[in-house]
Structure 1
Amino acid sequence: MPRIWFYHDGRHPHIYRYEPPMSKLQYVACIDELAGTPVEAVSFCLGEGRTMLHDTQVGELLGHNVESWDHAIFRRAHQNAVGLIEAGDDPLRLICERAKLRGMALYPCLLVQNPGVENATVRCSDFRRDNPHLEIRARADLEVDLPWIGGLDFAHEEVREERFALIAETLSEYDVDGFELQLNNHPRYFHPGQIDAGRTLMTDWVGRIHEAVQGSGRGRQLVARVPLDLQAGYDIGLDVAEWLRRGIVDVLIPEPFAGPQRADPNLDFRPLLALTRDTSCRVVPALHSAVGSDRLGDGPIAMTRAQACNYWDQGVDGLYLAQWFHHWPYEADFYERLRELPFPDIMATRDKYYYVPTGSSFGTQPGAEALLPIELTAGTPAQVNVVISDDLPTWHEAGRVHEVLLRIGLAGNTELDRLSFQLNGSELPLASCRRINQMYRMHAPRHRGGPTYWYVFRLGADNWPQKGDNRLTVTLLERDAAVLGSVGFRDVELEIKYLMGRSSPRGFVDPDLGFYEHVVT
């Protein structure tokens, strides 16, 4: 069974990018670009959910109902899809054939839910345009700012049938290894007053799809991307625990509610793993790479390692690389990340960069808010949990640990605020702390937000974090009386750096040896 999965949305680094007419070779490049990597399965998105970009006979092709385009990129997608289809090359069939040629499993993915006509513009289907009464908001008794009420209401049989027809056609007409339901995109499926009844309808619908998948070919699997918080899923009509009891899902891809597409090494998959322990269902969590801080749009390889090792350490069955297509065009650092991912033992003594997600430069959906920042109140400790998979005592004994660096960022504070920092109940000595002033910056790598002050601790072995959970506590002891406003506990970053061996240099020439010329003798 696949351990490393790659999600490709089939649009942004692909059909949107090439001038029409797009050639067959260009179209299958999204598979070829993953050849020779550890990727064993590709989840390939079917159009944009409402409309398709392949030769469907039961769904609708993106742009089939458009005469004048107000969006040149969506027109290009339509032109490229039509060009291939008219040449006798069904785009989805090309992808299926290429994946088989390269030895990868292929799972078409349907964005099960999407907003309404006003969001879709020229991408919208006639089914959505002609049936506003099938939307969740149709009863007009909901607050207009309630998230995702423009989606389809799955209480209606017409909705479930329209979605099912696309799935059934894909299973019967294409050489695939299964099918993925993306159920964490705009995750609302029923009117809030019909959730209980809707939960049964959704379970029966998923069961019907599972039966179709199983009956369409030997070894085919139903994959479902769902909220990691099972209660949050239950509250919108997704009874994942019942699906497991009935055996109607083969692979679960958990990620934070509404998929904020943000790297997070602290996610806890153990409750879900406990539910699947006596079932045949596999758990393959989504692993994102975006950070969105003042310095990092995307996490470096050390951050990918930290996240992957924490997930493997919990006993997951694989990793699902979600939204990694935004790295396109792929270069050497992309392939370096991929190479290590299946091997936590190789990554064990490689540099890692842990962090706690904080308010970032890209928005998050309701229910997917970051843990930080936390507003500090004088005298009241604020605490976050930092999870690591490193066994520092073992690697210290082997002479492999170079440095453990803890960075804590606060916002809105001044040099006169008095603070206390504790890790696992032990006070971190301020005498060994470097304070970095960022109260005002004219320039920054990405944006000028971020902490006012960084507090940087180079931790000695007596203060190292432990494998597993670590409690980091910050207390504002005394506030600068002359300054209004609050102090925010905003950022936590933990870097663990390793040596190749006892007393080995860090790199070609160790940074502690200072400047050197790039001449090899």
Structure 2
Amino acid sequence: MFTGSVAQTWNDLAVYTGEKAIQALVGKERQQVFKVNAAQMRANYDGGVDFQLRDACTLLCAQTADFLYDEFTPRQTRYAAGSRPVLEAVVKEQLNGTTGQRDRMLMLMRFCRDLYQRDPGRNITDADYIFGGREEELIVKGEELCECLGRLFVALCEIAAIPARYVIHIGGGHIVAEVLVDGHWAYVDPRTGVHFERDDGLLASTWDLWSDPGLFRKQPDRIKAEISPRWTWDERVWKCEQIFFQPQEITGFTNYSLMDTPRYRYARVTQKEATRLGLWSHAKEYQKLTARIFGLAADGWRLDWSARKLVPSELIYRNDGFSQFYYHTAPMSAAQMAAEFIDPLAGTNVDILEWGLGPGSVFCYDTQVGQIFGEDLTEDQRAMLREGDINVWCNVMGMVREGIDPLRAAINRGHQQGLKMYTRLEMNHEYGPADDDNWMWIGFVGDFNKQNPQFRIPGSVRLDFKHPEVRTFKLNILREAAERGSDGISMDFAVYPPFFETPDPEILTDFVDEVRAMADQVGAAQERYIELMVRFPAAAADELGLDWKRWMREHLVDAVVPSFHPFKTEFDLDLDEFVSMGHRTGVKVYGCIFQSLGFHDTDATPDDERIGPKYDKAKTVEVFYAQAMLFHRAGVDGIQLAMAEGEWNRRPFFDDLSNPERMLYAPKRYMANQGPDSVRVVMFDPDQSSTQVDLRLADDTAAAQAAGHAPQVRLMLYLDRHLAEREQVIVQINGRSTVVVTRQDLSWDRPMPDRHDYFDPDWWRVGEYTMDIDPLSVNLGVNRLELHHVNSANGEQKTLSVRWIDVGVSY
């Protein structure tokens, strides 16, 4: 990333210093960043000291590192006592007899870090905001900007006889310092409190961190505790990893001494004047450039899809805690349960087996808090249930009567197979209406709900979490699961909202905090840490009272699973906001892939023997690969496979879903997200003949072609009726190519039924039109499809609905 010979003398260093340094930078965009950063600093400080220090910096690179860490900065300070009495008084007050070079340095760092608290309400966009000034003036105003704090910190260290120097992250737009502590240079950020320790106990230098970026994630709690309350440790580490110490970054050093003040101009510049000088226009250009060179997405806390490296992620396999007992003819032994639903995961990419506690309100383990499924039902009531429901009751109770708790047995077997075992509670899964003729109410709802109608949301059978008794019941179930040995508690708020008559985020946050405290209490007693994961509807969390941002910021949870609700509306769930928050907090973010697409309910009913099985739109391996790759491109920490029971045994490709390399050039099938009514993507009528639909692809067809592959892309439209003779749907793709869909493109030539026949496995293919499109007309990421409906020439105006838009990619 740098060019030039090794610097062995001051003369050699000249080509890496000041304006000449631009020639040492490889890449036109990096050179432009160097220029624009200088122009921005000049405008910001009207050419004053903070610009002068930036303008005089010497690049840190392999060619200059030895010299910069040897002769470049004097190891003895030059400060003359009495020169700056106000600053001396500050140093004396802060050190207050502190001994030890590291402790003295840290006291001065904390002073600078906390200066903003003197006037926390100021805003740099205020017209009368003052940039810059002498060090004494910075203290009086409560300085908060990194460039001024870096200079102030270096000056205070000099008075304390601690050598220090100014460090500029030119691409990252951040200024820190290096301080000579215990004979070794230490990277210190006086604005945020960030510094790092090496394995040998010495503080790490800038070059140490460049050489060993693994140090960022190895810091002890006492180092992390120095972070300013304005940030989290995780967000500052992410900035270091992805920006300040990313290979594209440009870092420079400048020496600064209070004895050299005559060289500098200590201008005080108002925000209004800086704006006139071009500060914000330069800043806008600078932001665009740095986003490109670092591959940053819009909010700056995640990477653009094209910049993110695809790496394997964690894989969670989830069952519902019920279906594994439903499909197994009684009796089932603990050994059979393990052989079918746990042992097949050993040696695979599955890291966590998430074991369901049961269908929400009754349970499939030996609970002392709630009821076991089927317990206490009369023979007449059991006769209302399905054959599989009786299997559940017999299988679970059979083990319990033998003194075996299915949950404890599953956890123990999972541990033997090297799996982490989570236990999942469906937080509000109740089955209305509350009617003794409703077989689901009879079998699937526990006594807590049945005997306490006052705890329900009015007009519903769902429980209202405003009642302490409801929260206590749920907490005790989770405690029971934790005490059985689970490694993690999974609170599934996606099953099913709402949780209040009137949402109250404070109540739910306090409840999550209670669960966190309970897990810590049980974990401490058992000498282990119990993780906490929450799943919730991504789009509706706030209005439901689910304050996930607070849960992440306050580290109440270890992982979040933003999910769909209702799930048939979101084939592609946008997790950008959640991934960004994950980077800022260190809380893991998982994408959820559901077992089906959900366009039709295929759950069995007691009438199935009479009416036959039902079918959903097929969710093929290509569909699973597409959803998994979308999550990998988004940068999730892992994928949760939300299954019913042992589907893993029938779908060996599940093991690929955590490894993007296995799927990169495999066939995939994407879908556009459904419209608000969850029935169609778009509807044309005589008053609306054109529309736009966005569809994201995780395939980079241009890169694939450049790598020697031959991508093929197919567009599939599913219409609610067959096209007439001269009727057309014209699709423009990203403004680059156009396809015209006519009746000749019909690829599933069956009569259009009066209604969808969900008892035919291929019902969803009726009205399928397929055509090839130019593989280079599609983008990695968002694709804009413009659809135009052209009615038949006879003038008859007909409505037309597009039920689905699918895109297939193969190689």
Q: Match for 1:436 among 746, 749, 753?
A: 746
Structure 2 vs 1, CA of residues 467 and 458 (structure 1 numbering), >3 Å: closer, same or farther?
same
- Residue 150 of structure 1 pairs with residue 469 of structure 2: no
Q: Match for 2:712 among 387, 403, 411?
A: 403
Pairing of 1:17-416 with structure 2 (within 5 A) = 17-28=327-338, 29-68=340-379, 69=382, 70-71=384-385, 72-115=387-430, 116=432, 117-118=434-435, 119-137=440-458, 149-172=460-483, 174-191=484-501, 194-195=502-503, 198-217=504-523, 218-229=528-539, 232-260=540-568, 264=571, 266-291=572-597, 297-323=617-643, 325=645, 327=647, 330-331=649-650, 334-335=651-652, 337-358=653-674, 369=678, 372-377=681-686, 380-412=689-721, 413-416=723-726
Residue of structure 2 equivalent to 1:469:
782
More helix by share: 2
| CA shift for structure 1 position 379 | 5.9
Structure 2 vs 1, CA of residues 458 and 324 (structure 1 numbering), >3 Å: closer, same or farther?
farther
Residue of structure 2 equivalent to 1:417:
727
Residue of structure 2 equivalent to 1:488:
801
Say whether the 8 Å CA contact 1:423–1:472 is kept in structure 2. yes
Query: Structure 1 stretch 206-215 or stretch 293-302: which is displaced more?
Result: 293-302
Say whether the 8 Å CA contact 1:376–1:487 is kept in structure 2. yes
SS in structure 2 of the partner of residue 44 of structure 1? strand
Q: Whole-Å Cα distance in 2 between the matches of residues 399 and 308 of structure 1?
A: 24
| CA shift for structure 1 position 94 | 0.6
Say whether the 8 Å CA contact 1:352–1:496 is kept in structure 2. yes
Q: Whole-Å Cα distance in 2 between the matches of residues 80 and 371 of structure 1?
A: 42
Deviations, residues 221-261 of structure 1 (Å, cap 9, x unaligned): 111111111xx11111211122122221111111112445x
Say whether the 8 Å CA contact 1:378–1:477 is kept in structure 2. no
Percent identity (aligned)? 23
| CA shift for structure 1 position 43 | 0.9
| CA shift for structure 1 position 430 | 3.3
Q: Whole-Å Cα distance in 2 between the matches of residues 431 and 21 of structure 1?
A: 56
| CA shift for structure 1 position 7 | 0.8
Query: Structure 1 stretch 292-301 or stretch 24-33: which is displaced more?
Result: 292-301
Structure 2 vs 1, CA of residues 204 and 481 (structure 1 numbering), >3 Å: closer, same or farther?
farther
Q: Whole-Å Cα distance in 1 between the matches of residues 803 and 793 of structure 2?
A: 18
Residue of structure 2 equivalent to 1:3:
314
SS in structure 2 of the partner of residue 136 of structure 1? coil
Q: Whole-Å Cα distance in 2 between the matches of residues 25 and 39 of structure 1?
A: 20
Say whether the 8 Å CA contact 2:739–2:773 is kept in structure 1. no
Structure 2 vs 1, CA of residues 428 and 376 (structure 1 numbering), >3 Å: closer, same or farther?
farther
| CA shift for structure 1 position 169 | 1.9
What amino acid does structure 1 have at the position aligned with 2:661? D
| CA shift for structure 1 position 410 | 2.9
Structure 2 vs 1, CA of residues 408 and 297 (structure 1 numbering), >3 Å: closer, same or farther?
closer
Structure 2 vs 1, CA of residues 324 and 458 (structure 1 numbering), >3 Å: closer, same or farther?
farther
Structure 2 vs 1, CA of residues 324 and 16 (structure 1 numbering), >3 Å: closer, same or farther?
closer
Deviations, residues 39-64 of structure 1 (Å, cap 9, x unaligned): 11111111212111211122222222
Q: Whole-Å Cα distance in 2 between the matches of residues 350 and 449 of structure 1?
A: 24
Query: Structure 1 stretch 306-315 or stretch 427-436: which is displaced more?
Result: 427-436
Q: Whole-Å Cα distance in 2 between the matches of residues 446 and 18 of structure 1?
A: 24
Q: Whole-Å Cα distance in 2 between the matches of residues 354 and 160 of structure 1?
A: 40
Say whether the 8 Å CA contact 1:291–1:357 is kept in structure 2. no
What amino acid does structure 2 have at the position aligned with 1:112? M
Q: Whole-Å Cα distance in 2 between the matches of residues 64 and 299 of structure 1?
A: 35
SS in structure 1 of the partner of residue 514 of structure 2? helix
Q: Whole-Å Cα distance in 1 between the matches of residues 640 and 734 of structure 2?
A: 32
Deviations, residues 53-112 of structure 1 (Å, cap 9, x unaligned): 211122222222212212143333222222111111111111001100111111111111
Structure 2 vs 1, CA of residues 419 and 96 (structure 1 numbering), >3 Å: closer, same or farther?
closer
Structure 2 vs 1, CA of residues 123 and 378 (structure 1 numbering), >3 Å: closer, same or farther?
closer
| CA shift for structure 1 position 160 | 0.8
What amino acid does structure 1 have at the position aligned with 2:457? I
Deviations, residues 407-461 of structure 1 (Å, cap 9, x unaligned): 223333423224321001234143999611747258996254555461x332235
Deviations, residues 465-519 of structure 1 (Å, cap 9, x unaligned): 0111001111113356565641112222212211xxxxxxxxxxxxxxxxxxxxx
SS in structure 1 of the partner of residue 645 of structure 2? helix
Structure 2 vs 1, CA of residues 483 and 167 (structure 1 numbering), >3 Å: closer, same or farther?
same
Residue of structure 2 equivalent to 1:459:
773
Q: Which runs of 5+ in 1 are unaligned?
A: 143-148, 360-366, 499-521
Q: Whole-Å Cα distance in 2 between the matches of residues 316 and 370 of structure 1?
A: 29
Deviations, residues 186-207 of structure 1 (Å, cap 9, x unaligned): 211111xx22xx2211110011
Say whether the 8 Å CA contact 1:404–1:464 is kept in structure 2. no
Question: Taking structure 2 as the reference length, what is the TM-score of the superposition?
Answer: 0.54
What amino acid does structure 1 have at the position aligned with 2:586? S
What amino acid does structure 2 have at the position aligned with 1:127? F
- Residue 478 of structure 1 pairs with residue 787 of structure 2: no
Question: Which has the greater radius of gyration?
Answer: 2
Q: Whole-Å Cα distance in 2 between the matches of residues 441 and 403 of structure 1?
A: 29
Q: Whole-Å Cα distance in 1 between the matches of residues 534 and 677 of structure 2?
A: 19
Structure 2 vs 1, CA of residues 316 and 446 (structure 1 numbering), >3 Å: closer, same or farther?
same
Structure 2 vs 1, CA of residues 18 and 408 (structure 1 numbering), >3 Å: closer, same or farther?
closer
Q: Whole-Å Cα distance in 1 between the matches of residues 478 and 350 of structure 2?
A: 24
Q: Whole-Å Cα distance in 2 between the matches of residues 79 and 398 of structure 1?
A: 57
Aligned length: 465
Question: Taking structure 1 as the reference length, what is the TM-score of the superposition?
Answer: 0.82
Q: Whole-Å Cα distance in 2 between the matches of residues 447 and 432 of structure 1?
A: 22
SS in structure 1 of the partner of residue 585 of structure 2? coil
Structure 2 vs 1, CA of residues 490 and 377 (structure 1 numbering), >3 Å: closer, same or farther?
farther
